[in-house]
Structure 1
């Protein structure tokens, strides 16, 4: 008897729910929202969708084979911060700006690496020999550029060495005059420039008169170009 009564009550509930659904289907969306707010979302879902007694059980993942890795749910949140051993950052050191490496001494540097001048001279000789033997125009152009660059470096190195020797000689002269109790004469920039030009012309004379003529011609052209420049006009 109890089972029959349960079936009858279930049928009555289903009939009543169907009638309610029909009434709800004829209502507007705005009225449905008002009804949902009035009776509550839980009761509204039970009326419309019925009371579900089936509980959502958590899925248990099993391995088909014990040697396979265990399957893990993708919905499980992953910890964002990982425990990683700290790595010590390597700091780059530039010896040019590092006080631990000492101060740059140009004189000492030139003495320690003076052998590079001999290496450069040997390279110039080797390039000249290769330049005479080559017949490829592109290779010849590269060799000429390399030869010119090495010559410029050698010329600058010799000029720097001469300037250092001149300054050292002046320092020694001043020290000797101080030791003798005399007032030393300190040369100004114009005197030093005149001496430099005189020495330059003497070196060119020793190398040949043609070099002096070419140098004077280039200097005259430079002075002429400087004099023909239009002066800047001021705006009142």
Structure 2
């Protein structure tokens, strides 16, 4: 008991001998755990567990196995939980915490110790955040102008024509029904886009000619007139008829129109009961 008091006084952890005397009763009760107390006092005074051999550690564990739970708890409260764990399980020094684990294979992940708590303030490398920008809804891209857009991407028209010819060629060679349906779907979509583009061009041309004439009449003193939707449709239809007449497809267009009207009228005819 005197050796334990002397060691504690040298480490500076015990302020007076009265405090040590107050625990003398509990020490007498823990006579069997003298080796654990000595190891605990050595760990508390700064002695590392490197001086404690494996045999001594096994001896301490055997002595603890014969002690009651209340005695072990009193011993832990007296010397402290940290000192108790250091004496029983080994040192908790930074040297042991920073132990470098070796890998059996270089392709395996590095083993990390679970005894090293992460720092409260993480040193995270700052990464510049990427800002994704959609040009369709961003003012930095400017206002959308259909004329400028079509002029800028006019080089795509011959590419689309070549792609359509290639698909038609593949359709004639393809024998798989699923692939044939996919190719036909692509061709129909491209044809629909071409028809829509032609109709927009016809409408634009008709309105452009009318606006030019109306502008000249306004200069001569005529009151400005703004087209209605019905008048705009008539202009587009007249311009379409002119385009068909130039290409020689008026008869074909009229025949197709008559067939469509006949099928529509046939639906309204009474059926035989």
Indicate the TM-score class for this superposition, using the shorter chain for normalisation. Answer: 0.5 to 0.7
Q: Which runs of 5+ in 1 are unaligned?
A: 1-9, 15-47, 229-236
- Contact in 1 for aligned 2:171/2:183 (Cα 8 Å): yes
- Contact in 1 for aligned 2:206/2:235 (Cα 8 Å): no
Quote the offset at 1:144 in angstroms. Answer: 1.7
1:55 aligns with 2:79: yes
Which of 178, 181, 191 aligns to 2:221? It is 181
Which of 77, 84, 88 aligns to 2:128? It is 88
SS of 1:213's partner is helix
User: Structure 1 CA distance, aligned partners of 2:161 and 2:128?
Assistant: 47
Deviates further, 155-164 or 185-194: 185-194
Quote the offset at 1:69 in angstroms. Answer: 3.9
Which of 201, 208, 212 aligns to 1:172? It is 212
Q: Which runs of 4+ in 1 moved over 6 A?
A: 62-65, 70-73
Pairwise mapping of residues 22-171 of structure 1 onto structure 2 (< 5 A)? 55-56=79-80, 57=83, 59=86, 60-61=91-92, 68-69=99-100, 74=115, 78-171=118-211
Q: Relative contact order, CA 8 A, sep 6+: which one is greater?
A: 2
Give the TM-score of the pair, scaled to structure 2. Answer: 0.51
User: Structure 1 CA distance, aligned partners of 2:119 and 2:224?
Assistant: 81
User: Structure 1 CA distance, aligned partners of 2:236 and 2:222?
Assistant: 26
Give the TM-score of the pair, scaled to structure 1. Answer: 0.58
CA pair 221-202 structure 1, distance change in 2 beyond 3 A: farther
1:215 aligns with 2:257: yes
Q: Which runs of 5+ in 2 are unaligned?
A: 1-24, 30-69, 102-111
Quote the offset at 1:203 in angstroms. Answer: 5.2
Quote the offset at 1:64 in angstroms. Answer: 10
User: What's the Cα RMSD here?
Assistant: 4.1
Q: How many residues align?
A: 181
